[in-house]
Amino acid sequence: MDFFDRFAIPHPSLAIYASMVAIVLTVIAIVVGLTYFKKWGYLWREWLTTVDHKRIGIMYLISALLMLFRGGVDALMMRAQLAVPENTLLDAQHYNEVFTTHGVVMILFMAMPFIMALMNFVVPLQIGARDVAFPRLNALSFWLFFFGAMLFNISFVVGGSPDAGWTSYFPLAGNEFSTSVGTNYYMIAIQIAGIGTLMTGINFITTILKMRAPGMTLMKMPMFTWSSLIANVIIVFAFPVLTVALAMGTLDRLFGTHFFTTNNGGMDMLWANLFWVWGHPEVYILILPAFGIYSEVISTFARRNLYGYKSMVASMVIISLLSFLVWVHHFFTMGQGALTNSIFSITTMAIAVPTGVKIFNWLFTLYKGKIEITTPMLYALLFIPLFTIGGVTGVMLGMSAADYQYHNTMFLVAHFHMVIIPGVVFAMLAGLTYYWPKMFGFMLNERIGKITAWTIGISTLVAFMPMFFTGLDGQARRMYTYSESTGFGPLNMVSFVGAIGLAIGFILLVYNVYYSIRYASRDISADPWDARTLEWATHSPVPEYNFAIVPHVKSEEALWDAKKKRHILFQGNYEKIHMPNNSGVPFIMGSIFFIWGFALVFSLWPLAIIATIGILACMAHRSMEIDHGRYISVKEIEETETKLRGAK
């Protein structure tokens, strides 16, 4: 029995047992469903082995939405627990686990893949490319993310969830204070997903630098592509820091080293520093592509070219540099001198300047524009004021002396939710609605979409504004309850109502998908929003090869100028197109990584060694393999093109 004991949950509860049952039932349902409808082959051929950036994008999207619901359930549990004083819905231990997994899931397994989804789907189309530079590597990135996320997600039913916060500060996260395997999951699952992200970074930088359509100079790239380029540069420079930090954390936990311990020379603050050297750039990895989406949406629906293109690019470059110089603002209170704190206060406030420049550029784009309020535009318009609240409170937090008052209170929690939700989540929902027709060939219902946007917008305010006040009054974050006499009760109840509102908003989103699948017209044009950039110049849904003829670009807004100034995008005849072959190796390698991670979490050394050999074998196989891809013949292209044009 000893062997199996380690897989038991240290703090079981009814909810966890119920989830176990639910998980088993869901898995059975999926397996039975696939078998019954004979879809295994389809799943394998069309999805699990695909190297097509569009399909990979869609798989990221599905994963992100699933994780949004997982993280959302965590959030509801927390808000329910805090809704009234001295509540006993969750005990301290469960509350710790829930806020930890909520943070990790939302940032790393929801926001990141959401961005990867849009980047994968949109960037190659926007630059007129046939795929990314390394399609196979792209598939591997996805599967590493996916299996990393899965590994993290089984923690609560096998062995116990991490409970030291998404920041996982040592010594709390060390063996002494975090005795369950939970924090092992944290260290290893994030490591696996992080390696995937790093490879995406390399892939997309190469793609954007080298695979743009003829005529598209760097300064003619659409803004979303620019923002992705910068975000990926940050990825390549920030993620290795996380890799090292996690590896050290793993060594501390599994092999008893003394990197972050409090004895034998270990230094707990080293973790905090490394974590935030990655962590702050990470928030800009999230926000920059979101800004890119807003730029696209705002110029499309204001029917104007983006105001201040050059300053937009310049501000992103400055942000990317500054983002590496502010990390100490996350622990002003943890013992640096006044001089250090002052320096990092100044760099922190400086970063608000380029951010402000961007806000003004959007405002100037809107000014005198012929604004059309569609769902994506509504998200963008809600974003500007709400995000400003988050940004301004960020500057308040950035003043180190004042931060002693705000740090680790609900004020901080309110700040980062007010930047991440309006900044990142709204952008993703805007991008989802905006690109939906390109992905699936029909539009989401506009009426339900707008109701959803308003519900989510208002609920965000209701849920998070009260926290600014309770935070200033001293309500600490990560506390599972508070006494009646603090007076925090009513405002926390308001937050709970807001959280329910958010939940309703996301349910409406799902309903919209369902409704539109059933009722939306499939008879839409390739360019239903009357947009400005290249991705709208090919069919919806996009054929495998993206563009039958590689477009020639003459201006920033290639499609708009093709429509208005009669620039000719596609000239010449069809030629056979070279495409990469599908491959099962990325998926298999991802699965082996999952086993490898699981083995490490539980210190199952023989299994870990076998899995390591498996991973190396996959690499060796890849090295020896000869694969020249395949060609799509002119005849096939002609057939596809006539079919797609007919369907329009």
Partner 1 sequence: MKIDHSLPLEYSTEENRLKILGFWIFLGAEIMLFGTLFASYFTLVDRIGSGPSGKEIFEITPVLIETIVLLTSSFTIGLGVHAMRIGRKKAMMSFFVITLLLGLVFLGVEIFEFIHYVHIGAGLQTSAFTAILLSTLGTHGLHVTFGLFWGLFILLQVKKRGLTPETANKSFIFSLYWHFLDVVWIFIFSFVYLKGMM
Q: Which one of partner 1, ligand HEM, Cu ion, none interacts with residue 352, CB within 5 to 8 A by kind? A: ligand HEM
Strand blocks (E) in 106-159: none
Among 14, 338, 568, 624, binds partner 1 (CB under 8 A): 624
Report 367-396 residues binding ligand HEM (CB under 6 A): 391, 394-395
The smaller minimum CB distance to partner 1, of residues 252 and 557, is found at 252
- Asked if residue 232 lies in contact with residue 198, where contact means CB atoms within 8 angstroms, the answer is no
Helix (H, G, I), strand (E, B) or coil at 524: coil
Q: Which one of ligand HEM, partner 1, Cu ion, none interacts with residue 579, CB within 5 to 8 A by kind? A: none
CB of 463 to Cu ion, least distance (A): 22
Separation CA 64–CA 78 (nearest Å): 21
- Site mask for Cu ion (CB under 5 A), range 307-346, x = bound: ----------------------------------------
Torsion sign over Cα 534, 230, 432, 641: positive
Report 235-294 residues binding Cu ion (CB under 5 A): 280
Among 15, 23, 236, 352, binds ligand HEM (CB under 6 A): 352
Report 293-322 residues binding partner 1 (CB under 8 A): none
CB of 247 to partner 1, least distance (A): 8
# residues contacting Cu ion (CB under 5 A): 1
Q: CA 194, 197, 200 angle in degrees (round to 5)?
A: 155
Among 236, 325, 579, 615, binds partner 1 (CB under 8 A): 236
| Residue 543 is a binding residue for partner 1 (CB under 8 A) | no
- Site mask for partner 1 (CB under 8 A), range 180-219, x = bound: ------------------x--xxx-xx--xxx--------
DSSP assignment string, 388-452: HHHHHHHHHHHSHHHHHHHTTBHHHHHHHHHHIIIIIIHHHHHHHHHHHHHHHSSPPPHHHHHHH
Among 127, 129, 351, 443, binds ligand HEM (CB under 6 A): 351
CB of 240 to partner 1, least distance (A): 4
CB of 328 to ligand HEM, least distance (A): 9
| Residue 337 is a binding residue for partner 1 (CB under 8 A) | no
- Asked if residue 403 lies in contact with residue 332, where contact means CB atoms within 8 angstroms, the answer is yes
Can you read off the two tokens belonging to residue 97? 């686990």
- As beta bridge partners, residue 429 has none
The smaller minimum CB distance to ligand HEM, of residues 419 and 562, is found at 419
| Residue 569 is a binding residue for ligand HEM (CB under 6 A) | no
- Asked if residue 61 lies in contact with residue 117, where contact means CB atoms within 8 angstroms, the answer is yes
CB of 351 to Cu ion, least distance (A): 9
- As beta bridge partners, residue 476 has 409
The smaller minimum CB distance to Cu ion, of residues 44 and 237, is found at 237
Q: Which one of partner 1, Cu ion, ligand HEM, none interacts with residue 205, CB within 5 to 8 A by kind? A: partner 1
Q: CA 387, 390, 392 angle in degrees (round to 5)?
A: 110
Separation CA 585–CA 431 (nearest Å): 31
| Residue 423 is a binding residue for ligand HEM (CB under 6 A) | yes
| Residue 424 is a binding residue for ligand HEM (CB under 6 A) | yes
Residue 8's contacts (CB-CB under 8 Å, 6 or more residues apart) are 159
The smaller minimum CB distance to ligand HEM, of residues 304 and 329, is found at 329
| Residue 623 is a binding residue for partner 1 (CB under 8 A) | yes
- Asked if residue 466 lies in contact with residue 388, where contact means CB atoms within 8 angstroms, the answer is no
CB of 360 to partner 1, least distance (A): 33
- Which has the closest alpha carbon to 508: 458, 456, 463? 456
Q: Which one of Cu ion, ligand HEM, partner 1, none interacts with residue 251, CB within 5 to 8 A by kind? A: partner 1
Among 191, 348, 512, 546, binds ligand HEM (CB under 6 A): 348
The smaller minimum CB distance to partner 1, of residues 263 and 571, is found at 263
- Site mask for ligand HEM (CB under 6 A), range 145-184, x = bound: ----------------------x-----------------
Question: What contacts 24+ positions apart, CB below 8 Å, involve 240-244?
Answer: 240/198, 241/274, 241/277, 241/278, 242/190, 242/194, 242/274, 242/275, 242/278, 242/282, 243/191, 243/194, 243/195, 243/198, 244/274
Q: Which one of partner 1, ligand HEM, Cu ion, none interacts with residue 244, CB within 5 to 8 A by kind? A: partner 1
- Which has the closest alpha carbon to 125: 544, 434, 431, 443? 544
- Asked if residue 380 lies in contact with residue 424, where contact means CB atoms within 8 angstroms, the answer is no
* Residue burial 154-164, b: 16+ Cβ < 10 Å; e: rest: bbbbbbbbbbb
Stated as kind and residue range, the H or E segment containing 118 is: helix 112-126
Strands 630-632 vs 577-579: parallel, antiparallel or unpaired = antiparallel
Separation CA 120–CA 201 (nearest Å): 11
| Residue 55 is a binding residue for Cu ion (CB under 5 A) | no
The smaller minimum CB distance to Cu ion, of residues 280 and 567, is found at 280
Choices 261-269, 355-363, 368-376, 458-466 (CB under 8 A): range interacting with partner 1 = 261-269
- Which has the closest alpha carbon to 536: 558, 565, 564, 513? 558
Report 282-321 residues binding ligand HEM (CB under 6 A): 283, 286-287
- What is the number of the residue whose Cβ is closest to Cu ion? 280
CB of 629 to partner 1, least distance (A): 9
The smaller minimum CB distance to Cu ion, of residues 167 and 640, is found at 167
Using CA atoms of 578, 581, 582, 586 in order, give the dihedral in degrees to the nearest 10: -110
The smaller minimum CB distance to Cu ion, of residues 54 and 280, is found at 280
Q: Which class for 66: exposed (0-12), middle (13-18), buried (19 or more C-beta within 10 A)?
A: middle
Preceding amide of 437 cis, omega within 30: no
CB of 413 to partner 1, least distance (A): 29
Q: Which one of Cu ion, ligand HEM, partner 1, none interacts with residue 258, CB within 5 to 8 A by kind? A: partner 1
Separation CA 475–CA 414 (nearest Å): 12
Residues that bind partner 1 (CB under 8 A): 133-134, 198, 201-203, 205-206, 209-211, 236-241, 243-245, 247-248, 251, 255-259, 261, 263-267, 270, 274, 277, 578, 616, 620, 623-624, 626, 628
Residues that bind Cu ion (CB under 5 A): 280
Residues that bind ligand HEM (CB under 6 A): 167, 283, 286-287, 329-330, 348, 351-352, 355, 391, 394-395, 397-398, 403, 406-407, 412, 415-416, 419-420, 423-424
